[in-house]
Every structure is written in C-alpha cells, then in structure tokens.
A and B are shown apart, each in its own frame.
Chain A
Amino acid sequence: MSVFKQKNKENAVVLKEYTWKYDFKHNWMIYLLFTPVLVYFLIFHYAPMFGLIMAFENFKPSKGFFGSPWVGLANFRELFTGDTFLKVLRNTTAMAVLNLTVGFAAPVLFALFLSEVRLKHFKRSVQIMSYMPYFVSATVVCSLASEFLSSTGALTMVLSWFGFDKQNWLANPNIPVFWLINTFLGVWQGMGWGSIIYMAAIANVSHDLHEAAAIDGASRWQRMWKVTFPTILPLILVMFIMRIGLVFRTGFDKILLLYMPMTYDTADVLYTYTYRMAFGSQINYGVSTASGLFQSVIGTVLLVISNKISRKAAGSSLI
C-alpha cells in the first residue's frame, strides 16, 4: 500500500494512504493537460488495434468486422506455409540485424566524432549537410540510388577502381549485395538526423568531468571513450531498445522501390512478400493483417527481452 507523509492541523507528520482520488484532487491540472494526449492515443493508436481482428477473418469490406467469416489461424497458415517464406524471413532478419548494428551505431559514432570537432563553422556545416538526406523522400533516395548504382553510375565507377565488375548493383542477386545497399542507404539518410539526440546529450556532459580527466592526463580520444560515451550510454540503451521494437518495420518503402524479380531471392522481406500476396491481384486483408501482427509480436517480444537484458546488464531500461 502506498503511503505518504502529511502534516495534520497540529503540524504533526502523519502517514496517510495514497489514493488516486487524493492525487487527482491535488494534481488535477496535470491530469487535465494530459487528457488530450490520452484521447489522442485512445482514438488513433488503441482503437485501430481492433482492426487486428481481420487477421483471424476472411475479411470483406461489405461484411465489416462483425459480419466477415471467422477463419481462425488460416491466414497465418497461409503466410507461414508459402514456399518462399523462410527465404523471406532470412532476408528480413539479415537486413534487420544490419540495420540494428551498422544502422544504429552510425549516428552514435557520428555524434561522438562530430562533438570533438573544434571548428564551429565546419561542425555546423557538416551537421546541416548530414540532416538533409532525412528530408528527401524515399522515392528520390531510390532514384538517386538507381542512378549511382547502375552499370554506368558514379558509385559503380568508384567500385570498379577497386576491382569490382561494372554492373547494375541493384540487379545483383548475390548475398549480401542488396542487404548492404539497403543498410547504407538507411545510414546515409538517417545518420545525421539520428545523431541529433546524441549531440544534445553530449552537449550536456559536465565539463568538470572532462577537465578532471584532462588534468589526469587523458587524451581527447580517451576522454571521448572514457567520459563522453559512458555518460550517454543510458540514452544509447534506451534508443537501442526502442529501435529493436521497430526493427522489422524499417525500410519497406525503399525495398519496394528498389527490388525486382531478379533480386527477390535476397531482397524480398516480410512486408514486400505480404504486399505481393495480399495486394497482388485481389486484396487479401486477412493475410496482410496477419503479417503485420506477426511482425508486431516479434518486435514486442524483442523489445521486452532487450529491455530486461538492458536492466540487468546496465541498470538502465525503457520500461
């Protein structure tokens, strides 16, 4: 039972039960301010979850949620028993792991190194330039990638100096070509933007710590790894946990725009596979929702596990 200290009329401190009524009465303004947020989440984030029922139905818009026939796990069976499902799952996992490692580490390292730059104008210019790709639409990013990676593209030319064949890299079906392209496109687009939060955290690291380390003879490199990095580590962990929950959801639009039948073997992921299965000829809402639910469940499980590991290992966690 929660208790709190309260002074009675005689100014004596007594212990009282801490009820929600008491809290509401004393903090009603905070509750009031929170109400729009709560309503927003209920309407736009929780109410739509009811749509997940479609994963267990042969959903027809004309019959609605309650009139569509209940099919149990049939949509999941259809999803999991597809001939290419395992290949698709492998590609999804591989790209997710690359995004989670390379894709996650890039903004952290970028922020750490950029924070050490002393030339203000240079630092700001680099920062602004690094944010810019984030505001470019996926379509434009993919068009640029297609140009640069075509058989006569600039990047292909650069790679040919290192002994690689001149080829359209996006049409290369070998592992891990498409995986790497997808990862580095994500890094190029999101690294600058993702580093903002780390830059802000680094800016708040106490100068006293740096000064003390410097007096003790620590070099800049050592201060970066021994002072700055440990200070922002809790934030990094929280961001990592949040990223894990969404790991299967990133980059679908880019993959859909870049892949082609020749590269399905290595580029097809759960989203694109489901997209073709569900929206190829006749719309199958059931399979599409089942796939979305499957990915959400996996994401949630990963999130909970990583949260626990983080709490145990670093004493810091999201939930």
Chain B
Amino acid sequence: MKKAVFAVLIVLAMVCLVSCGGSGKKSAKDTLEITWWIPKAEDSTYYMSYEENPGVRQLETMEFNSHKVNLKFTVPISGSERDNFNTLMMTEDYKMIFDMSFCTSSPMELLEDGVIWDLTPYMEEYMPHYMQIIRSDASLAPYVYNSVDGEKKILSLYSITNETLGNFMGLNYRRDWVAKYGTNPKTGAKFTYGYTDPSDYNTYYDDVVFPSGGNDPIYVSDWEWMFGIFEKAIADLGITDGYCISLYYKGFSEAGGNFDSAFGGGTPMWFRDKSGNAEFGGTSEALKTYLQMMNSWYQKGWLDKNFAEHTADQIYAIESAKMNSGKVGAFVGRRGNSGGQMDNGDKLTEGIMVYGAPPAINDVYGSDAVKNKEPYSLYQYSHLRGNLCISKKASEEELKTIMSMLDYLYTEEGGCILAFGLTKEQNDILKDPTYAKYNLTEGAYNKEVLADGRFAYHRDVKLVDDNDLASAMAAKRLTIGYYSPGFVPALNESYTKCALYNMAQWDKYYNTGYIDKALQNQFTPDEAATYSKVYANVDTYMAQNVPKFITGALNVNGADWDNYCKMLNKYSPDKVTKIYQRIFESVK
C-alpha cells in the first residue's frame, strides 16, 4: 500500500514538474521570452552579452500587446555566421526572430517550407507604423513585398532609413597637387591655396577652377585636364612607381558610379534604368565607350598599369600602401582619406589635401547617345538596411506580441533607441550600468524641437568621437526599425568638415539604378538557381575579358568586341534581366 502511495506521489510530482516546465517560454504570466538570432553583437569591452545592451534592457521594461518581453540572443562566432545559421536551420533549432543576412533561402522558400510566418494578415493591426512607412515611399515596394501566387505578401521586415546614410566611399583626388601644379585653364594664372588656420586642415582654401568652369571636376574633360597636372606632379616629386588613377581589378564596378556609369548612368552589370525597367549593361554601347576611354587612359599612362593584378584589394583601398604614401593622384577612397588625414609628415604626404569628386559625366568619348548623361553615385546606401523574418517557433499569440514590439522600433522613439540609445529620462528610470560605466548620465542624446516642428538630435560628444562606443550604447545590432528624418545629420556629426564635403560630392547624383541585393529575397527557388548560375558565368567572363580591352590585349573597336558580346550572351544574362523585370512589375 505504502509503495502504491509513494508511486502515485512520484507520478503527481512529475506531472507537476512537467506542467510547470511547459510554460518555459513565459516565465511569468505576462512576460514572453523571445529568442532572436543576430549575426553580430558588440565587443565584450562594453558588456558580455547582447541581453545587457541598454536598448534591449529598455525594451524589456515596456509592454507590448499586454506582455512584457525577455529577449534572448543567439550570436555566432565571427566568421562562422553562415555555418551557425545553417546548422540552426538544419536542426530546426532556429529562433523566433532571425536576421536574414546569412540565410541562403529566400523568404518565399522559407514560407513554402513552413519555417516562417506570413505576416500579411497581422500587419495592419500589429504593425501600423511599419505599414505607414512603406506606403509613404513607393520605391520600397519591390523590396518589402513578395509576390506569392499573384498576391502581395509581407514575409520579412526591413530596417528602413528615411535618408540615405551618406556614402562611405567615392572618387577622391589630390586637390593639393591640382592647386600646386595646375594653372587656371582660362587665364593661365597659378592657383592660390593655403589654410586660414595651419593647425587645422579643415580650414584649407584654394581658387582652383576646372575647365568646365566650376570648382569641382564634373566632366571627363575635367578629369583628363587633371591627369595632365598629376603627370607633372609625379615627375616633379620624383615618384617612379606612382600613377594618376587606380582602377578596380575587374575594370569596372558592379554597383555603378565609378567612371563606368559616366556614359548613360547604367552599370556594366544589371541595373534599373530611369524608367524603372531592368537592363544588362555588359554588352552596351555605354560599356564599349567606357572601355575605349579606359584604353586611351591606359595607353597614355594615366591608369595603373597593373590594375588587373590587385585582385585582393577592396575597391576603396586599391594598392593602399601606395595610395597612403602619396603616390597616387586619384582613387576611390573612404571618408577616412578625406582632407589632410593621410598626412604622414613625409615628403609625399606633407600638406596633402584629398577632395571628393562627384561621379564624372562623359563629354569626350563616343556618340551623343553616351554623352552628357547624369551618372549614378558609386554604390550608395539604399533606404534598406537588412531584414528579418519571424519563424513558426513563435505561436500566433507570441507572433502578435513580437510584431507589436518590432513596430515600436518603427516609431520615432523606438528608432532613437536603435540609432542613438537612451535619453536621460529613460536612463534615469533604467539606471543602466553601462551608461554609468561610461559616464553617460545625461543620456546618449538630446532632442531639440526646430521652428518647423521637426526634431534635431544632438549626441553626447563621447559618442560622436567614438563610433564603437556609440554603437554599443544604442541597439544597432538589431538591424530593424526606422531612421526618422534628422537621424542621419546627427549620425554625421562624427565626420570632419572635409569628410562631409566629400560625402556630399559622392552623393551628388542619386543611384537610381543600383539593384540592392535585398531584391534577391524576392527570387523563387528556380529564379535563385538561374541567377546563381548566370551570375557566376557572367561575372567570371567579364572579369577575365574587360581588363583585356582596357590594356589593349583585345581590341574594343574590332571583331574582339563582337566576339565578347556573342560569348557573353551565350551565358544568357537576359534570363536574370527577365527575373528582375518580373519582380519590378509584380509589386508595382
């Protein structure tokens, strides 16, 4: 009898334990544990896990859909992001929310496989702010909607910015060389130049005028005039291994905006033309003319003779050792190269002044069809900054809470937590230990109401000076939410006057043709396979042959060009053009 009672008690105890364990996701009646896969967290200098991020802690103090949330992050080791993501997928251990940066399947495939939720039916009720934002900008439509069986669906959520963040790279040139060795193209007079405050390179001034009449190089003819000056500078300084301009090893930039978009705006690969249609530029008249120009520059000795060999170099750091030692007249560089930042105090860099230039417009080569066309900016950030999906690991009720929480990040207040961090008022209540550690007792930023009713944001000077700290104090790694108007100018406070000037030059023209990689999320499985194969073949073939046209190993004016076009067309680039066109049309 005793044994039977004991057994029953054990069974009851086990039932109790199991039933308690069943509510593991909700540690309290109104707190929902949300698991989230992010590809990158912050350096452990600031805190040990992303759960300690001040923005995350702030979210956990709030209520969404009558629930508090407890966020649990999974962060892979740097370098193994894709492996980690795939392992989680294959073992069905994926999280409730996952960043799509390293996902090899499109949202449509994931929906088909029953991995993610179709968010469409819940959007209006639980994500009104997100809906308002995507409705206000028609250019977002091809990206944020998926066409599933002819219906517009929302399968993933994008991080959106109201303004482009400003290019981090673009064409740079040695303004000091132009000022020192050049003469006014109209009067022949020497230019004057100097600093109002010799200790601050941001006070540089000169009276440089280009042949087109302005103070910045706008046209190809301006650049060619400048190369003549660079030749003089290189000879005068006794530089034996320098050159006027560097070039990316493929001979072109896929994202457009380098000199390759000076002939009509398109790119040598796939791009969106001014009327919104998909086009392939690999066999275009624009590319042919570009190659004629590049061949001419190569023959004149303006171009880096060994450009095709620098395959390991990023486009913004081609032969960086040579560039940084002041031996190159013009190059694609980053904000960090602006102004006098490359001054090492040696003979070739002392007094260096690097100016940014807008993408050039062709006014010299080819027919009228490829002259005086507005170019695209190089690369240029899009309005989208990554996306995430919500998996079926979340129940429908949990989905609603998650969506409500994410929607908060699309409000101005939520966006501030992502972009800047906490206000003084928020931190006074939260008493975040990391803010205390870094003496941010006044919060990460303050907000000023302008006369027109808009806001201006001012970040703490410590955060302006230290981008890593700024990132750690905000919740940037969530890569979700909305950057409202005014965010970008506040974030740009980190940059010097020269860098801001250069960024303005690089972004002079909007890159309407750049097809953001995010569009690949719209591929069907068959389209993804086609794209992969065609892209690999086209990219390889062009990378092999375009440099040959530039060096003259192949004749761009002869039968070689026709053979190149014929061979390239064999790889069926039109198949990818049609895929892009379908997507553009499906979400109009």
| Interface, chain A (partner B; CB < 8 A) | 58, 60-65, 67, 78, 82-84, 151, 168, 170-171, 257, 260-262, 264-265, 276-277, 280-284
Beyond A61-B89, A62-B105, 5 additional contacts (C-beta under 8 Å) are: A60-B109, A62-B115, A170-B309, A265-B544, A280-B535
- Contact A260-B113, Cβ < 8 Å, known A61-B89, A61-B90, A280-B535: no
Judging by beta carbons under 8 Å apart, are A283 and B104 in contact?
yes
A84 to B538, CA, bound (A): 12
Decide if A261 touches B531 in the complex (CB within 8 Å): no
Instruction: Please give, as numbers and ranges, the residues of chain B lying within 8 Å of A151 by CB-CB distance.
Output: 306
Q: How does the 8 Å CB contact mask read for B247-277 relative to A, with 1 for contact and 0 for none?
A: 0011000000000000000000000000000
Q: How many A-B residue pairs have CB under 8 A?
A: 81
B526 nearest CB neighbor, chain A only: A58
Q: Are B89 and A264 interface neighbours, CB within 8 A? A: no
User: Is B249's CB under 8 angstroms from A282's CB?
Assistant: no
Residue B75 at the chain A interface, CB threshold 8 Å? no
Cβ-based interface call for B139 (8 A): no
Q: How far is the CA of A168 from the CA of B525 in the complex (A)?
A: 43
Question: 7 A-B contacts, Cβ less than 8 Å apart?
Answer: A62-B90, A62-B113, A65-B90, A168-B309, A261-B543, A262-B547, A280-B539
Bound-state CA distance A94–B86 (Å) is: 36
Q: Verify A62–B308 contact, CB threshold 8 A.
A: no
B270-308 at interface with A (beta carbon < 8 Å): 306, 308
Q: Is the CB of A62 within 8 A of B539?
A: no
A281-B89 contact given A60-B109, A62-B109, CB 8 Å threshold:
no
Closest to B311 in A: A260
In the complex, A84→B547 CA distance in Å?
19
Contact of B308 among A58, A67, A171, A283 (CB under 8 A): A171
Most buried by A among B92, B105, B311: B311
Report the contact-size class of chain B (Cβ under 8 Å from the partner): 35 or more
Chain A proximity mask over B223-257: 1 for CB below 8 Å, otherwise 0: 00000000000000000000000000110000000
Whether B528 lies near A262 (C-beta < 8 A) is no
Within 8 A of A (CB), among B99-124: 104-105, 109-110, 113, 115
Q: Which residue of A lies closest to B91 (CB)?
A: A64
Q: Is the CB of A277 within 8 A of B309?
A: no
Contacts A261-B249, A280-B536, A280-B539: A168 and B547 contacting too (C-beta < 8 A)?
A: no
Residues of B near any A CB (own CB < 8 A): 82, 85-86, 89-90, 92, 104-105, 109-110, 113, 115, 249-250, 306, 308-309, 311-312, 520, 525, 528-529, 531-533, 535-537, 539-540, 543-544, 547, 570
Return chain B residues, CB-CB under 8 Å to A265.
Answer: 544
Q: In the complex, what residues of A have CB within 8 A of residue B115's CB?
A: 62
Q: Residue of A at shortest CB range from B545?
A: A261
- Chain B residue at minimal CB-CB distance from A142: B312
Please name all residues of chain A whose beta carbon is closer than 8 Å to the beta carbon of B539 when the two chains form the complex. Answer: 280-281
Q: Are A284 and B89 in contact (CB under 8 A)?
A: no
Q: Among A60, A67, A260, A276, which residue has its beta carbon within 8 angstroms of that of B249?
A: A260
- Contacting residues, chain B, for A63 (C-beta < 8 A): 113
CA distance A82 to B537 in the complex (A): 9
B104 touches A261 (CB 8 A): no
Contact B537 A83, beta carbon cutoff 8 Å: yes
Please provide the 4 A-B residue pairs with the shortest distance between their CB atoms, ordered closest to farther: A261-B543, A280-B536, A61-B89, A282-B532
Q: Determine the main DSSP class of A at the interface with B.
A: loop
A60 touches B308 (CB 8 A): no
Q: Are B308's CB and A261's CB within 8 A?
A: yes
Contact B544 A61 (CB under 8 A): no
| Closest CB in chain B relative to A87 CB, distance in Å | 11
Residue of B86, B532, B535, B570 contacting most chain A CB atoms (<10 Å): B532
Question: Cα distance A287–B86 when bound, in Å?
Answer: 17
Residues on A with beta carbons closer than 8 Å to the beta carbon of B82: 283
* Distance of A281 Cα from B254 Cα, bound (Å): 13
Name A262's contact: one of B92, B532, B535, B544 (CB within 8 Å).
Answer: B544
| Distance of A47 from chain B, by nearest CB (Å) | 14
Chain B's closest residue to A282 (CB) is B532
Q: What's the Cα separation between A171 and B110 when bound, in Å? A: 43
Judging by beta carbons under 8 Å apart, are B89 and A282 in contact? no
Q: Are B537 and A281 in contact (CB under 8 A)?
A: no
Q: Given the complex of chains A and B, what is the CA–CA distance between A161 and B249 in angstroms?
A: 30
Give chain A nearest CB distance to B199 CB in angstroms: 38
* B311–A261 touching, CB < 8 Å: yes
Known: A61-B105, A62-B110, A281-B531. A261 touches B540 (CB 8 A): yes
**A61 and B86 contacting across the interface, CB-CB below 8 Å:** yes
For residue B301, give the distance in angstroms from its CB to the closest CB of chain A.
Answer: 16
| B92 to A, closest residue via Cβ | A64
Minimum distance in angstroms from A287 CB to a CB of chain B: 9
B540 x A260 contact (CB < 8 A): no
Contacts of A78 in B (CB 8 A): 533
Nearest-Cβ distance from residue A172 to partner chain B, whole angstroms: 10
Query: Which chain B positions have C-beta within 8 A of A262?
Result: 308-309, 544, 547
Q: A67-B113, A171-B306, A171-B309 are known contacts. Are A60 and B104 too (CB-CB below 8 A)? A: yes
Do A264 and B540 have beta carbons less than 8 Å apart? yes
Q: Chain A's nearest CB lies how many Å from the CB of B113? A: 5
Contact partner of B536 (CB less than 8 A), chosen from A65, A257, A264, A277, is A277
Q: Which residue of A lies closest to B571 (CB)?
A: A83
B533 cross-chain contacts in A, Cβ below 8 A: 78, 277, 284
Contact call A282/B104, Cβ cutoff below 8 A? yes
B529 CB contacts on chain A under 8 angstroms: 58, 282, 284
A281–B308 Cα distance when bound, in Å, is 21
Minimal Cβ-Cβ distance residue in B for A286: B529
A280 in contact with B308 (CB, 8 Å):
no
- B532 and A284 form a contact (CB under 8 A): yes
Bound CA–CA A264/B529 (angstroms): 24
Q: How far, in angstroms, from A264 to B311 measured CA to CA in the complex?
A: 12
CB < 8 Å neighbour of A282 from B110, B531, B540, B547: B531
Contact call B104/A61, Cβ cutoff below 8 A: yes
CB distance from B553 to the nearest CB of A (A): 9
